[in-house]
Structure 1
Amino acid sequence: MSVIVTKSRPLLVRPSTEQSTPTTPHHIKVSSFDKALAFSAFSSFHVFDGAIHEPAETIKRALSRALDHFRLIAGRVVVGDDDGELSIACTGEGVEFVATTANCALVDVKLFDPPFAALLKDLAVEYPEASCRVTDPLLLMQVTEFSCGAFVLGVTWNHVVADGTGIALLLRAVGELARGLARPSVSLVTCADELMPDFPPLAAAIVKTMLGQLEPKDYPYLDITVPMSTIGRIKAKIGDELGAPCTVFEAATAVLWQCRSRAIMPDGDPDSAAPLVFAANARRHVGAGDGYYSNCVTTHVVAPPPTIREAAEGDMKDLVKLIRGGKEQVPGTLAGEEVEGVPGLETLFGYSALFVTSWRNLGFEATDFGGGTPARVMGHVGPRSVPACVACLPCRDKDGANMLSRFVKEEHRAAFLAELAKFT
């Protein structure tokens, strides 16, 4: 069927109190973690199947109240005239908001089945250029109401102001205020340059390359789930040998890593490196509190990486050990230690590499505007220049680790899915 999305005129939602819109705005210096991601945009999609009264108006009012507490998000980026240093001016200018309606029920839209994958761009507001401009709002929000009463919240933000955990804190606060709470349940903390260490040089090089002018690759979308039964078997089999329980992220990522390596090995050099690059939340390593909503994520490489053959044919226990070992190295990299055996950027950005970002426990699953928590949360995996996967997404009707990926060529799609089916 033809899906028609009708958008209202964008408007600015400002903080609800005058104290949040000062005549002389306070400037807050951003950390090196914020600078690394400055002016890059990211979108998330939150699907709610429980209807609420006037979802767009309800969320807009609660968002205005939430911005009283999230001063940075209602501000604007400032670039120093003399030194080019970045800061955020708490101007209270607000965020962009769009109310939208769709001419169908949510059940009619299969977002990742052609041609509906193209609908994603209609479910969120996009910045007018490929990257965010200094004058742009730091956050864009769209509420799309379907004919059945369900709605999708699309959130796009300038990464300089928050990471995924920070946006989850904002949405949690908006939900709490929409449900009648007087104030957010978590005390919010803004970016603190003196708290954060220097952004690790390797992570900075990876992020800079990712945000550069690499040629996009047309990898097909895959909406897949590693069943919890599979994850449970892996955890039961190798848990005692690891010294600590195997996590859902470790088990699910190991499955993806092995299945993908098996799928691509026949057409490549089996003795070349198969790097795994993952995003790591650094909050507990640097002492950031629960309400810290600025960027606190680093990028880490499992090193030395196995070969494609080793990843494809090795024991699952060995892959989990490599992933865990990489996680254990994160505190050292934040303290300035170098990781030995890291391949060059040419290898890290080759087809044999796998980039994984986990959204498990970010807090998106707790958002509730009055009709219940989201049925699913999606990260927009665009036409990336690297094989990428957003893993462990909250998804109520899938018993396992839901993942959205663009990480295999079309000619390897069937082989990957066949390998994944062997684990179920």
Structure 2
Amino acid sequence: MAAPSSIPLKFTVRRCEPELVAPAKPTPYEQKLLSDIDDQASLRFQIPVINFYQYEPSMEGNDPAEVIREALAQTLVCYYPFAGRLREGANGKLIVDCTGEGVMFIKADADVTLEQFGEPLLPPFPCSDELLYNVPGSEGMLNCPLLLIQVTRLKCGGFIFALRLNHVMSDGTGLAQFLFAIGEMARGVATHSISPVWERHLLDARHPAGITFTHREYDEVEAPVTTPITILPFDNPVQRSFSFGFAEVSLLRSLLPPHLRRCTTFELITACLWRCRTLAINLDPDEEVRMICIVNARSKFNPSFPSGYYGNVFIFPAAITTVKSLREKPLGYAVELIKQAKASVTEEYVKSVAALMVVRGKRIHFPNVIGTYIISDLTKVEIEDTDFGWGKAVFGGPMIAVGVISFLMPTKNKKGEVGRVASICLPAPAMERFAKELENMLKQQPSEGKKSKSNSISSAL
């Protein structure tokens, strides 16, 4: 276990009045339909993201809040749908009304240094509600700003960039593209290197809509009655992060049979977390549990999606088994299930999901019960690579886990070694059991007698 960080329990944030940042030039006034993938109920929520930036001597005298504000206005000329508002059309279809009203923007100052947040930087972060202020009336799905951005300047000369995105507009890849574009404008680049592409019709259902797969990720599942912690969102949840470096990943890989050791690091860590979480929540052994894998389907299409497409192109295939099977079978069993779920995603599968949304209605949702677990892999999205002139972020990613959703993010230790960090959200008793299960897994003997390089896991509160 890592020692508690030196993060202050409370610090003061002084905010300016929120303002709306509109496109720097006139933009088309029109209405744009979201795709049948975009506007599904599973994506109708806000996702908070945070980037931390160090002091950069070459930018002395530049105000990061003002630099980003001006770059945002310039970027919204091309990405003008973000400056609009959502309306609801026939049959619940979401429409972007491109009004040019703008994005909510907040300038702030905090009496804290970047170093006081600890090293490495890991969520959850203190005073998150102050670093990304929830402007009253701004977080609704309809008729509200689609983005809220806060830039908080720190005592050390660094700053924090926090953002809240209405998820129906973009997935992680689309958001990273938008942030990269803001960074280009902030650094004085004349034109965007990637032109934004709307083209949401590419993910609309065919006519007539035909469901060609069984989509168990959208099963109607009742909450288990065999456990006291079945309420979502969780009562009094605990947020915690667990880091996986080279040693931890190597150890987990050594637990697999030879034919599975070439699995991806995401598949390996996901299998580990799924098993530990399942054991931690104390469900009945015969209860069905599911790991919903988030798969970026851009590469599944032929021809593949335009590079500038910034809508949602990810799909939720499910790996399903029982508590008993997950508990009693080796780690490789979970890895196999996850690999099979991911492999099921094809272009036809995506079109079938779009058809399902039309046939069964936009309100269809993945099962939001404690036996469902979702991990979103952001290690290749590169949100942390956003450069406003102060270099890349020392940490970039979602601020918190959200209910049954965890995020796998890149991180670096004090030696500069790259690893991964998983954010977890569970009730306190389950979180303690989860940490113990994870510790026990990393004490197991490698398959075929091979010795591991580590028997510990890094954990941060």
TM-score range, shorter chain: 0.7 to 0.9
**Relative contact order, higher structure (CA 8 A, sep 6+):** 2
Please give the per-residue CA displacement for 1:17-68, whole angstroms capped at 9, x wherever unaligned.
23x2x4xx12211111121156521111111124443110111111111112
Superposition deviation, residue 204 in structure 1: 6.0
SS of the residue corresponding to residue 141 of structure 1 reads strand
C-alpha contact 1:47 1:375 (8 A) present in aligned 2: yes
Q: What residue ranges of structure 1 are gaps of 5+ in the alignment?
A: 340-344
Task: Summarize the Cα distance change of 1:177–1:256 in structure 2 as closer, same or farther, 3 Å threshold.
Answer: same
C-alpha contact 1:231 1:252 (8 A) present in aligned 2: yes
Alignment match, 2:82: 73
Alignment match, 2:276: 259
Alignment match, 1:400: 419
Alignment match, 2:249: 231
TM-score by structure 1 length? 0.83
Task: Summarize the Cα distance change of 1:378–1:192 in structure 2 as closer, same or farther, 3 Å threshold.
Answer: closer
Paired letter, 1:61: E
Alignment match, 1:326: 341
Please give the per-residue CA displacement for 1:339-388, whole angstroms capped at 9, x wherever unaligned.
9xxxxx9995443332212212123132111122111123133662xx33
Superposition deviation, residue 235 in structure 1: 4.4
Task: Summarize the Cα distance change of 1:11–1:400 in structure 2 as closer, same or farther, 3 Å threshold.
Answer: same
Superposition deviation, residue 291 in structure 1: 1.4
Decide which of 312, 317, 321 is 1:300's aligned counterpart: 317
Task: Summarize the Cα distance change of 1:61–1:39 in structure 2 as closer, same or farther, 3 Å threshold.
Answer: same
Superposition deviation, residue 125 in structure 1: 3.5
C-alpha contact 2:232 2:368 (8 A) present in aligned 1: no
Paired letter, 1:190: W
Alignment match, 2:450: none
Please give the per-residue CA displacement for 1:93-139, whole angstroms capped at 9, x wherever unaligned.
221111110011122236999x9855111111425359524321211
C-alpha contact 2:383 2:396 (8 A) present in aligned 1: yes
Decide which of 321, 345, 352 is 2:371's aligned counterpart: 352
Task: Summarize the Cα distance change of 1:382–1:361 in structure 2 as closer, same or farther, 3 Å threshold.
Answer: closer
Decide which of 299, 304, 312 is 1:284's aligned counterpart: 299
Task: Summarize the Cα distance change of 1:157–1:116 in structure 2 as closer, same or farther, 3 Å threshold.
Answer: closer
SS of the residue corresponding to residue 35 of structure 1 reads coil
Alignment match, 1:33: 37
Alignment match, 1:16: 24
Decide which of 322, 326, 331 is 1:311's aligned counterpart: 326
Alignment match, 1:100: 108
Please give the per-residue CA displacement for 1:154-184, whole angstroms capped at 9, x wherever unaligned.
1112222212211111111111221121122
- 1:404-419 equivalence runs, <5 A: 404-406=423-425, 408-419=426-437
Superposition deviation, residue 224 in structure 1: 1.0
Q: Please give the alpha-carbon distance, in whole angstroms, between the structure 2 residues aligned to 1:162 and 1:347.
A: 18
Q: Please give the alpha-carbon distance, in whole angstroms, between the structure 2 residues aligned to 1:79 and 1:221.
A: 34
SS of the residue corresponding to residue 432 of structure 2 reads helix
Task: Select between 97-106 and 39-48 the one with higher mean Cα deviation.
Answer: 39-48
C-alpha contact 1:189 1:292 (8 A) present in aligned 2: yes
Decide which of 384, 395, 402 is 1:376's aligned counterpart: 395
Task: Summarize the Cα distance change of 1:111–1:36 in structure 2 as closer, same or farther, 3 Å threshold.
Answer: farther
Aligned pair 1:49/2:54, yes or no? yes
C-alpha contact 1:33 1:296 (8 A) present in aligned 2: yes
The percent of aligned pairs where both chains have the same amino acid is 26
Paired letter, 1:65: Q
Please give the per-residue CA displacement for 1:201-236, whole angstroms capped at 9, x wherever unaligned.
6556789x9xxx955433211111122222234446
Q: Please give the alpha-carbon distance, in whole angstroms, between the structure 2 residues aligned to 1:404 and 1:334.
A: 28
Q: Please give the alpha-carbon distance, in whole angstroms, between the structure 2 residues aligned to 1:175 and 1:355.
A: 30
Q: Please give the alpha-carbon distance, in whole angstroms, between the structure 2 residues aligned to 1:192 and 1:47.
A: 32
Pairwise CA RMSD: 3.4
Alignment match, 1:193: 201
Task: Summarize the Cα distance change of 1:262–1:227 in structure 2 as closer, same or farther, 3 Å threshold.
Answer: farther
TM-score by structure 2 length? 0.77
Alignment match, 2:166: 158
Paired letter, 2:424: S
SS of the residue corresponding to residue 73 of structure 1 reads helix
Task: Summarize the Cα distance change of 1:352–1:116 in structure 2 as closer, same or farther, 3 Å threshold.
Answer: closer
Alignment match, 2:72: 63
Alignment match, 2:359: none
- 1:107-256 equivalence runs, <5 A: 107-109=115-117, 117=125, 119-126=127-134, 128-129=136-137, 131-197=139-205, 216-235=234-253, 238=256, 241-242=259-260, 245-256=262-273
Q: What residue ranges of structure 2 are gaps of 5+ in the alignment?
A: 1-7, 224-230, 357-363, 443-455, 457-461
Task: Select between 5-14 and 159-168 the one with higher mean Cα deviation.
Answer: 159-168
Please give the per-residue CA displacement for 1:370-424, whole angstroms capped at 9, x wherever unaligned.
122111123133662xx33112x13233742111110x33123233223323423
Alignment match, 2:459: none
Task: Select between 54-63 and 292-301 the one with higher mean Cα deviation.
Answer: 292-301
Paired letter, 1:231: V
Alignment match, 1:342: none
Q: Please give the alpha-carbon distance, in whole angstroms, between the structure 2 residues aligned to 1:346 and 1:166.
A: 22
Task: Summarize the Cα distance change of 1:192–1:413 in structure 2 as closer, same or farther, 3 Å threshold.
Answer: closer
C-alpha contact 1:73 1:95 (8 A) present in aligned 2: yes
